[in-house]
Amino acid sequence: MSTITKAPETGRHRAEKPAKAAKAATPESPRAPRERRVPRAQRPMLRLVVLALVVAVAVASAVVAFFMHRSNSDTRALRAVESARQDAVAAAMQDVPKILGYDYRHLSSDMAAAKALSTGQFLRDYSSTAQKVLASAPSVKGIVAATVADQAVIKAQPDRVTLLLFVDHESVKQLKGQKTPTTRIDPFRVQVTMSKVHGRWLVSDLEGV
């Protein structure tokens, strides 16, 4: 019995399974930078630095505010003194001649006007001595006129100003037996203190120098 041997297949190759395609590498997403943490040992020091900066800024702000307030206060004080100087001088130039002058024909009204322009110790002195000084005015027909020729401020404060007045004092008198009156002009100086009382500048002191 003959054995039939199967001839090998020629021209045919065994199909190989295709190699699996390598997985495409997925690009890694960029990692967020890791937050740098301050070591615990350095944290108290950092707090001290921050606190020191806060304190320094607060102190600097306080110093600036202080000097600004002081500058504004100084400016207001200077303006108050300058205003007092001007107002007191104007009042003295107008009122002192009324106090120093008089006319024998209306002594009572002249004295009342002088008292209204005075205050303090000067008012008390004027009230006690003026009547005696002026008692002789009617007998000699005395008339006195005072004119302020010049002035100089000695010291000025918001409510008190001391100044020097240069006054021309003109007096007219007719002594007994004279047919015509005699006129005399005497220049002299007076130191005047003006005080602000209830919004008004009044003479609180007056003396010859």
Q: Which domains are seen in the chain, by residue range?
A: 61-208 (3.10.450.230)
- pLDDT at site 132: 77
What pTM does this model have?
0.61
Handedness of CA 64, 67, 70, 74 (dihedral sign): negative
- pLDDT at site 2: 47
Q: What is the number of alpha carbons within 13 Å of residue 149 lying toward its C-beta?
A: 11
Q: Give the separation between CA 178 and CA 28, rounded to whole angstroms.
A: 132
Average pLDDT, 10 consecutive residues per value, the chain (209 residues): 49 51 52 58 67 70 65 73 90 93 90 93 88 81 91 92 93 83 89 94 92
